[in-house]
Amino acid sequence: MKPFEDSGIRCDDSLGRLPRLPAPHGVTGSFELATVHIAYSDPWIIPFVLRTETDGNTTTQLVASAGHPHEVPIPFEELPRPLTSERGRMRRRDRARLTDFSAQALTLDCHTERPFLARAQTLRNKEV
């Protein structure tokens, strides 16, 4: 049996939609789930942050690049467009830039409660 089989979460996932997540234990007000993903496309990595709010609204933000020095958050559904135009790419070994992007994703000056996840396609890669 697959995880969440026959559940609303599984059905949404199979349709390529992000499900609405229940609030974490102990959180009574609004919250945001922030996730940093790192995709690999040799010789590049493509880090991006997904933010899902209490109302189910999901936005994504790519790392800034020379051609786009400021990437604004966009609706999750619009993510394929900038990816296919090669935005948000950076060299694998640019650790300082990746660290800066991840720290900004935490938005430490914000008081919203937030679980934060970081994910890479593999955690065994010593370069990242």
The residue range of the domain holding 37 is 27-120
Bin 38: left if φ > 0, else alpha if -120 < ψ < 50, else beta: beta
pLDDT at 33: 80
On whether residue 16 sits in a domain, the answer given is no
Within a domain: 31:
yes
Q: Note whether residue 4 is domain-resident.
A: no
Domain annotation covers residue 39: yes
Instruction: Write out the H or E segment, with its range, that includes residue 97.
Output: helix 95-105
50-107 per-position pLDDT tens digit:
888 877 788 899 998 877 778 889 998 888 898 888 889 999 888 888 888 888 877 7
* Inside any domain, residue 86: yes
Q: What angle do CA 73, 86, 121 make, to 5 degrees?
A: 80
Tokens found for residue 54:
């209490």
Closest C-alpha to 106, from 30, 33, 53, 55: 33
> CA nearest 88: which of 104, 69, 106, 105?
69
* Rounded CA separation 44/63 (Å): 12
- How many domains, in total, are found in the chain? 1
- Residue 95, domain member (yes or no): yes
- Prediction pTM value: 0.67
Selected residue with higher pLDDT from 107 and 125: 107
Is residue 1 assigned to a domain? Answer: no
pLDDT tens-place string over residues 15-42: 445 666 677 778 777 777 888 888 888 8
d(CA 62, CA 101): 9
Q: Is residue 76 part of a domain?
A: yes
Using CA of residue 38, residue 80, residue 55, residue 68, what is the dihedral sign? positive
